[in-house]
Structure 1
Amino acid sequence: MILKTLLMGQVYQFKNLKEVFAKANEEKSGDRLAGLAAETVQERIAAKQVIGALLLSDIRDHPLLPAEEDEVSRIIEEQVNGPVYKQVQGWSVSELREYILDDRTTGEDLKRISRGLTSEMIAAVTKLMSNLDLIHCANKIEVITKCNIAIGHKGVLASRLQPNHPTDQVEGMIASLKEGLSYGMGDAVIGINPVDDSVESVKRLLHATHDFMNTWEIPTQNCVLAHVITQMKAIEQGAPADMIFQSIAGTEAANRSFGITAALLDEADDMARTLGTGTGPERLYFETGQGSELSAEAHYGIDQLTMESRNYGFARRYNPYILNTVVGFIGPEYLYDNKQVIRAGLEDHFMGKLHGISMGVDICYTNHIKADQNDIEDLGVLLTAAGVNFIIATPMGDDCMLNYQSMSYHDVATLRQTMYRRPAPVFEAWLEKMGIMEQGKLSRRAGDPSLFTR
């Protein structure tokens, strides 16, 4: 395994695979904060040259975090399909990139070959991709999943309706829910971030959304994004939850900082199947985002893009209904400005899709990051072109509970119309019945929450 290269008359020597991976990454403030980033553009290019020449077998044979030391590494390794890996082990990372980009390579080809790849191999090829490469290749892959309804079809842009309320007041949440539905939002999930992570609060919100869905015969899923243990206790007490949610990370130590293990998620998966109200077969919802392992001081000197890819390798074990990365939320310590946010969003979406995950994105920013609404609208267009399965939508693009800016209800509706996308088929039929959509477009009644009064 050669870890040096000659570039413009200068020899660049890297001490190990971790350093090559980190320095081949596009500029990220999180990598710089961790002391991992390339010092110059030339060093970054040199690292990309080295990583491009590596064989896929080199990456597997020299793990960044050995399986005997980390549960996530073991799970990723155990999932590798031996016969598929045998076909590709002699490829270089550059050859893998060319295969992915080749017009003759279909989305089904990519889903098949991904079973022979580790998350680190997927991270490596991502570092060699331009933004347009990431868009073009992710758009090849169709990942369809079903809880109560199915999403992920080509030409479909689903949405998570996020009617958060600063005090978990049911009446306020329902008001936002009505407005979102009137714009055609909510086919991926009606998902609420609770302020109060208590069992009683979670039960109240689950019952409220479930009752509203039943009253109006809305074909979708509900979820309250409390800690997995809180949700499980609420379900044990009879709360109607279609899915169980949890934030996950790319190392065992980072997951423990979230209060989870693989065994706990196995229990949650089993409970969702036996006691949950979702019809399935997929009933789990995960959330990720570049930088969480650094926040937990559990990144082991591995760059944040590679850590994010490991999230998807971990998630693949559970075949979730949906997973969304949150870009721009943690802050400028990890993604400093609009350029880094856009790049991370495209990277995460591509890596998740290549893992076979039903990927969504919370396209967002906080007030102390160097980005604005135009930037996230730009990313919305790029991700829609890339075939993102769903986008999170909030009232007026401003979450009054989490205090950050995201895509609004009308932003997602505009993306659908501009980019010729539709809601999930069953959900669109319901919107047509309600008079909210007509022939694939919002009607004159759209945006009027009084539709949901009797």
Structure 2
Amino acid sequence: MAYKFTLRGKTYSFKDLKTVLAKATPERSGDALAGIAAEDNKERIAAQYCLSEIPLKAFLDDLLIPYEKDEVTRLIIDDHDTEAFKPISSLTVAEFRDYLLSYEVDGKTLKGLAPGLIPEMVAAVSKIMRNQDLISIASKIEVVTKFRNTIGLKGHFSVRLQPNNPSDDPKGIAASIIDGLMYGCGDAVIGINPATDNPQEVSKLLKQLDDFRQQYEIPTQNCILSHLTTTFEIIDKAPVDLIFQSIGGTEKTNSSFGIDLKLLQEAYEAGKELGRGTIGNQMMYFETGQGSSLSADAHHGVDQQTLEARAYAVARKFDPFLVNTVVGFIGPEYLYDGKQIIRAALEDHFCGKLLGLPMGCDVCYTNHAEADQDDMDSLLTLLGVAGCNYIMGVPGADDIMLNYQSTSFHDAMYLRKVLNKRPAPEFEEWLLKMGIFDDQGNRKELKEQMLKLK
């Protein structure tokens, strides 16, 4: 179906819904690279006006990627809850924005609405929002998950302790873990990107982490971010807590990652059988990022932000413990500068939370992007206000294995302090017991505590 909108005497024509969505997207280098971005701000504004008048129902009928050609589309449509959709089924995109911003619509209402929303709807409404709208609405939503501790409670803010090492050196990893724990990091997960996906090496890392966790009775969960097939190979032999996989918003993108929905379902069932959680058993951990479909030539002419939202439908299917948009990792070809990275992260967080996901964000950029740590400080603070569940904690904010810039252990301390946020409750109790924090959330003099963890 074609769409038209007249702006100041000029009529803009858009051949289909995915064209409207692409042209309405705030400026993004990846969409320009794909040849689907608006030609200028006038066309972008016209597309946003046009998009604002489209009924939400249209996204259920005018599918961006054909049902018969894409299993992610089939998942989105087949799992749509028509009852949950009823309260907003008569609204346009603009009316949906007003509804979400209204004082009467609270977190409980939005939680009930989530099963009735599909990714294309939430991506669409995000495109006509200001940053403050994205922050305001996301801040209403509490998505709580449980494994060995509780993540996502209002007033709490968690950190993935990321002790990556370019040679998977056990001593280097241990030093980074101890450093992070001394700053109250690691309640979301202690998660390592392995230098090699070798099953034997991954098993060794898992055992090292699990031995350390048990020795000091740390109420957290571990994860080696190996490929799903590697995890399957060792799942009966190694202490696997969280099951990790990168995912995308199209069948072809997921195929480029070496996975499909069937494999994810098998992993989900295998993880449930392990039963390693103590207070809950949500154990899937997914990472995403705008631009992955374009880089895999799997975007079908759909803009990268809408495809990112579609990845959240894949995540939602498997009741994850953590979801993480690695926002600036792919590079400036997809998100050119600090402004684009900040906007993309707020969109991703908003869309994920609205769809009912426990969203975290790797506040990051590559060294060749037009961004710096001041941009990341701004984004970190905005996400904290928006109610983001967790961020990364990397020694010095510089990942020496993946070669990109992220957030540090000190950054987590800063955010908790200025926004009066606490670690996960169970983890905070452990920090107090170990004498790492005092009851005001302040970090103590740590010489003696570090000797305990040597």
- For the criterion TM > 0.5, the same-fold answer is yes
Query: Given residue 349 of structure 1, which amino acid in structure 2 is its aligned partner?
Result: H
| Pairwise CA distance, 1:442 | 2.4
C-alpha displacement of 1:158: 0.3
Question: How does the TM-score come out when normalised to structure 1?
Answer: 0.98
Query: What is aligned with 1:418?
Result: 418
| Equivalent residues in 2 for 1:80-95, closer than 5 Å | 80-95=80-95
Q: Output the amino acid matched with 1:289.
A: G
Q: Give aligned-pair identity as a percent.
A: 51
> Offset of 1:327 from its aligned partner?
1.1
Alignment of 1:136-155 (within 5 A): 136-155=136-155
Summarize the Cα distance change of 1:271–1:97 in structure 2 as closer, same or farther, 3 Å threshold. Answer: same
Partner of 2:68: 68
Deviation of residue 155 (structure 1)?
0.8
- Residue 84 of structure 1, CA deviation: 2.2
Where 1:191 maps in the other structure, the secondary structure is: strand
Which residue is equivalent to 1:124?
A: 124
**Counterpart in 2 of 1:372?**
372
- Unaligned 5+ segments in structure 1 are none
Shift of 1:40: 0.9
Looking at structure 1, the residues matched to 312 and 446 of structure 2 have their Cα atoms a distance apart, in angstroms, of 36
The equivalent of 2:308 in structure 1 is 308
Q: Could you tell me how far apart the structure 2 residues matched to 1:218 and 1:359 are?
A: 23
| Structure 1 residue 273, shift from structure 2 partner | 1.3
| Deviation digits for residues 321-359 of structure 1 (CA, Å, limit 9, x no counterpart) | 000000111000000000000000100000000010000
Deviation at 1:3, TM superposition (A): 1.2
Partner residue in 2 for 1:197: 197
Q: Is the 8 A contact 1:178 1:449 kept in 2?
A: no
8 Å Cα contact 2:228/2:267 also seen in 1? yes
Match of 1:362 in 2: 362
Report matched runs for 1:214-293 at 5 Å.
214-236=214-236, 238-275=237-274, 277-279=276-278, 280-293=280-293
Q: State the alpha-carbon separation in 2 of the partners of residues 446 and 325 from structure 1.
A: 33
* Counterpart AA for 2:247: I
Looking at structure 2, the residues matched to 215 and 82 of structure 1 have their Cα atoms a distance apart, in angstroms, of 49
8 Å CA contact 2:331, 2:369 repeated in 1: yes
Task: Give the residue type in structure 2 aligned to 1:420.
Answer: N
| Maintained 8 Å contact 2:178/2:453 | no
Is the CA contact (8 Å cut-off) linking 1:243 and 1:278 kept in structure 2?
no
After superposition, the Cα gap between the structure-2 partners of 1:447 and 1:134, relative to the gap in structure 1 and judged at 3 Å, is farther
- Output aligned runs, 1:312-351, within 5 Å: 312-351=312-351
- Partner residue, 2:434: 434
Three-state SS of the structure 2 residue aligned to 1:324 is: strand
SS of residue in 1 equivalent to 2:238: coil
Q: Give ranges in structure 2 of 5+ residues lacking alignment.
A: none
How many angstroms apart in 2 are the aligned matches of 1:288 and 1:248? 6
SS at structure 1 position matched to 2:391: strand
- Of residues 441-450 and 152-161 in structure 1, the stretch that sits farther from structure 2 once superposed is 441-450
State the alpha-carbon separation in 2 of the partners of residues 161 and 449 from structure 1. 18
In the TM superposition, residue 438 of structure 1 has moved relative to its aligned partner by 0.8
Quick check: 2:118–2:355 contact (8 Å CA) kept in 1? no
Cα distance in structure 1, aligned partners of 2:84 and 2:70: 24
User: 1: distance between equivalents of 2:440 and 2:189?
Assistant: 20
| Change in CA separation of 1:232 and 1:452 when aligned onto 2, cut-off 3 Å | farther
DSSP-derived class of the 1:56 partner = coil
C-alpha RMSD of matched pairs (Å): 1.3
Following TM superposition, by how much is the alpha carbon of 1:449 offset from its aligned partner in structure 2, in angstroms?
Answer: 6.8
Aligned to 1:181: 181
Counterpart code for 1:259: G
1:18-76 CA distances to partner (integer Å, 9 max, x unpaired)? 11000000000000000010011010010001110000111211000122111111111
Partner SS state of residue 218, structure 1: coil
Does the 8 Å CA contact 1:178/1:452 hold for their aligned counterparts? no
